[in-house]
Structure 1
Amino acid sequence: MYIHLLNRWKEDAEVAAFIQKNAFATLVSQIDEKPWATHLPFVLDQNKDGKAILSGHIAKANPQWKNLADDQEVLVIFQGPHAYISSSWYNHENVPTWNYLAVHVYGKVKLIEGEELMDHLKKLVNIYEDGRPNRVSVETMSVDYVAKQVKALVGFEIVITEVHGSRKLSQNRDGVNHQNIVKNLEESAFPLDKELAEEMRKDRSDYSRS
C-alpha cells in the first residue's frame, strides 16, 4: 500500500500489539490469476526457528486453500479504527479526508496439520475465550467431535517477510487544528470515531486533556 512519509509506522512493538488487537484480518492470494480474499482470525506467534509467523485456518469448502501452496507469497491486511474527517473542523479552507490505522503483512505460506494445527486451534480459542464467563477450550471438547470438525479445515502458517504499517492521524496538522479534529471525533456518536480520537491523542505530546 502507499504510505506517506509522515504516516509510516515502524515501531515493531506497537505494530505487533495492533495486529493482536485487530486480529480478524483479510487473507489475500490469487485464484486463477484473480485476487481472492477471505476474512479470518489470526494468531501472531513464533515458529520453532524463532521467526515471526501468523497462524490461521480456512474451511476446505473455500477454494482459496487449494492455492495456498508451500512458499506461496500472500498478503494479510489488518485494519483498526478509522474515521471521516470533515473539512468543517479546520480553521481554514481544506478538503475532507479519512484517518485510519492499517497494517499489511506479507509472508510465505506453510500448510500445517496434526499437532501443529491443533496447537493453533487451542491458542486461538484460548485467546478469545480469555475473560469470558463459561469459558470453553479445545481440550474440554470431546475428542471425536474435535476430530470431525478438524477434517473440514486446512491449517497454515505464514512466515512473515515484510510488514508495512500506516497511521494516518492528521500528523500534518498544527496543534490547534489537530485538537479541533480530536474534539469533534470525541463528540461523535460513532464508536470508531471516539477510538480514532484516542489514537490521535496518543500520537501527539504537544497538548494535554483540558
Structure 2
Amino acid sequence: MYTPDLYKNEDPESIRTFLKGNSFGILINQTNGKLCATHIPIELEINPDGKEILQGHISKLNPQAEGFAENDQVLAVFTGPHSYISSSWYDHENVPTWNYLAVHVYGRIKIVDEAAAIESLKKLVDKYEANSVNPVRVEDLSAKTMREAKGIIAFEIEIDEIQATKKMSQNRDAKNYANIITELEKTKNPQSLAVAKEMGEKLK
C-alpha cells in the first residue's frame, strides 16, 4: 500500500486497536491465475506460541479456497472511517482530498482442523453477541445446527508484514485543521463524523 511517510501509522497498539474494531475485512489471494476477494470477519488473535495471527473462515463452496494450496500468500485489507475533504474548507487555494484509515496485513494462510475451527467460531460469536439481550452461544447450539460448521473452511494467517495508513489532514496548520473538523461535523454523515472524531483526538 502506497503511504507517504507523513501518513504512516507505525504504532503497534494503535494498529492492534484498529484491527479489533474494524475486523470485517477483505481476504485477497490468487486462485487459478485470478485475483479473488471475499468480504468476511477476520479476527486478530494470539496463538499458543504467543504470536499475533489472523483467524477467519470461508464457505467450502467458495472457489477462493482452491488457491490456498497452490499459494499460501494472502492479503487482508481492513478499512476504517473515511470522508471527502473539500478544499473550500481551507483559507487558501488547494485541491480536494480524502481522509481515511486503512490497514493491509500480508501473510501466509494455513487451514486449521475442525476442533480449532469450532474454537474460532466460539470466539467470533462471543465477541459479537456480547451486547445482545439473549446472546447466542456456540456451545448451546444443537448438533443439527452445528452440522453447518462442516460447510466452512477455517484458517489462520501468520502475519509477515503490516502496513497502516492514517491520513487525517496532518499536513494542515492548526487553523485549517480545526476548520476541517467543524465542516465535517456539519455534514451529519456518519463516516464524516467518525473522521472528525478521529481528528479531534489529536487536539485533546
Which TM-score band (shorter chain)?
A: over 0.9
2-side partners of 1:153 and 1:141: how far apart? 16
Residue ranges of structure 1 left out of the alignment (5+ in a row): none
Mapped to 1, the partners of 2:2 and 2:114 lie a distance apart of 39
Contact residue 60 and residue 154 of structure 1 kept, 8 A: yes
Give the structure 1 partner of residue 124 of structure 2: 124
Structure 2 letter corresponding to 1:156 = F
Q: What corresponds to 2:26 in structure 1?
A: 26
Give TM-score scaled by structure 2 length: 0.97
Counterpart secondary structure, 1:9: coil
Question: Who is 1:8 aligned against?
Answer: 8
Flag as ranges the 4+ runs of structure 1 deviating above 4 A.
Answer: none
Give the equivalent residue in structure 1 for 2:97: 97
What CA distance in whole angstroms lies between the structure 1 residues aligned with 2:163 and 2:66? Answer: 27
- Per-residue CA deviation, residues 181-202 of structure 1 (Å, 9 max, x unaligned), is 0100111121110000011111
- Give the conservation status (yes or no) of the 8 Å contact 1:69–1:109: no
In angstroms, what is the RMSD of aligned CA positions? 1.2
Structure 2 residue matching 1:180: 3-state secondary structure? helix
Matches within 5 A, 1:1-210: 1-69=1-69, 72-146=72-146, 148-202=147-201, 204-205=202-203
One-letter amino acid matched to 1:199: E
Please give the secondary structure, in 1, of the residue aligned with 2:188.
coil
- Output the amino acid matched with 2:95: V
Q: Deviations over 1:20-52 (max 9, x none)?
A: 100000000012222111000012111111111
In structure 1, how many angstroms separate the alpha carbons of the residues matched to 2:184 and 2:161? 32
Q: Does the 8 Å contact 1:59/1:152 carry over to 2?
A: yes
Shift of 1:15: 0.5
* Change over 3 Å in CA distance of 1:70–1:16 after alignment to 2: farther
- Which shifted more, 185-194 or 94-103? 185-194
Distance 1:140 1:123 in 2: 14
Conserved 8 A contact 1:71-1:110 = no
Overall identity of the aligned pairs, in %: 45
Q: Deviations over 1:148-185 (max 9, x none)?
A: 20111000000111110000000000001101101001
For structure 2, the residue ranges without an aligned partner over 5 or more in a row are none
Q: What TM-score comes out, normalization by structure 1 length?
A: 0.94
